[in-house]
Structure formats: C-alpha cells, structure tokens
Structure 1
C-alpha cells in the first residue's frame, strides 16, 4: 500500500491563475485551497438585501459595495476569501479586476458550517487589514446583527439599539444606520 499523496499547494499567484479556470469558487489559506459550498436561500436573501442597501446608500460616493463574487486578498495572512459583502472606498481597489485589498467594511452571513470559522480564524485574518474599520456578522437563525468596530482599545462589539425590526446599528465607516428590517425584511414575506 502506498503512502497518501500530499495535496498540491499553491502560492497566491498560482492560486489566482488556477481559480480563474475553475467553475466553482475556492478560498485560499497559506497554500491550501478550500471549496466553497452553496448557500441556503435565507443566506442569499440577507446578503443580497445588505448589498442592495449599501449600494443605494453609497451611490454618488467614492465607495463601492461588492457581493460574494469579488475576492478579498489578505496579503498579511497569505489568504484569499469571498466575503458575503464588502465595501471599499480605496482608489486602488477600484482598479483591481480580481480581488480587493483594502475594504473598510466586511459582512459575513453566518451558517452552521461557517460560524466558528467566520468568528475565529477568518476574523483573525481580516483584522490584519489596516483598512478594515468594521466587521458585521449576521446571524440569520437568531435574527441578530453583531458589529465589531476597530477602536483605539482594539476591536469592540456593538449591538443594535432598540427592538424588533426597528433595532438600529450604526455603521460608522459608511455613515449608515442599518435596521434589522434592512437585513431580515425579505425573510418575513
């Protein structure tokens, strides 16, 4: 019996070339490639609602909202991810074709299979981005928004003020008061 063959490892440049040829999306972490799985309908609806809200709010500014088809390269973590939604106001990012490098806001919609990674190792990688001001975690099952904001003391959790659909969370980086209805309204129909 032979020994198991090691999985092929890529550097980021090789990954970008390889990923461009793939039908499915893959994230990259320190030489390893991980296939992305499809999302549930609730996940897609919430991510889409947030993207649409950000896009409309940012219209006419130098900032842009991006969906999960745009990659994020975190050079300091030797990683490439597909966040659910990102906002970048960086002029260099506006010129990048395949992957952003300087978002100020990242949103991840949690699922049972990704929640621990999104809260742990992925957030640790994201924190290495000097541009990142806010990281929004959206828990569809609990209908909860959790915003981590970079402050002089470190990353601080901010939760919405108020109750129900009117609960509001201030996204200071883009100057938007986001309500629970903005995020979860499509799930109520």
Structure 2
C-alpha cells in the first residue's frame, strides 16, 4: 500500500467511535445486568480490585488506546507484521467479547479467568508482532499488557476466592 493511500485521521475517528461503542456496551451490560453488584457485594473480592468507576475508566482507556495503536499500525506499519498486527488487534477486541460472555453474561469467575488468560497470551503475542510492524505502537501496547496482567491477577484471585479453588500456601 502506497503511503499516500494509508488511513487518514478520519479512520482514527471511526476506530475511536467503534471502540467507544464497544466499551459502552460492555459497561452498560455490566451495570444493567447487576454484575457490578454481584462482584462488589456478593462475591469475595481481592483487596487489589479497584473501585468500579476506576475499573470502568481504565477499561475505556485501554480500549481507546488499542484503537489508536490499530490506526498507527495501519497507517505507519510495514511488512508482513502490519497485516498480522491488525488481525491480532481485532482478535483482542473479540477476546473482550469472550470475557463479556463468560464473566458478565454467564457470571462465571472461572470462565472469566480463562478468557483473561487467553487475552493475556494474545496481548503478549500482539506486542511482539506489533514491534516488528511499528516500534512506537509496541511501546503504546505496554500499558495495555500491564493492565491485562493486572486484570489476570485480579481475575485469578476472584476465581480462587469464589470457586473453592485451594492452592498450597495460598
């Protein structure tokens, strides 16, 4: 693709609109289905679980940052890694849907943990491949990877505390 044919700022706006709609759906479902009350009132929760509004804002920031990374890779990426990176980023958005189905809709802390684990593996792979396509985008993916790692830890603790999982020494 010639550099002049690369996506413009309009496509970034479209990516951000889609990402905002997705976060709105996830947040709306979480609040409307009572999953917030379920997590914060009914479940045993780890001390490291942030308040729901902080969790919501960080989820929104992560999703919007992924849209920015998608646009940067799409516009400035090069080689085989550009197309693979775009595909991996789309898969990361779909992984959010998997978590949504398991944790929010089914209210299954174990499924939620495995969905986040899959997302964590996919995020690590995405950071690696994006680094081949466009270095700055890989740097922007690190906060997303750190956030996913944190949520993997929170999800594991939710699963451990609420599913009867007993680990030696924990």
TM range (shorter): 0.3 to 0.5
Task: Using CA pairs under 8 Å that are at least 6 residues apart, name the structure with larger relative contact order, 1 or 2.
Answer: 2
Normalising by structure 1, report the TM-score: 0.31
Normalising by structure 2, report the TM-score: 0.34
Greater helix share, structure number: 2
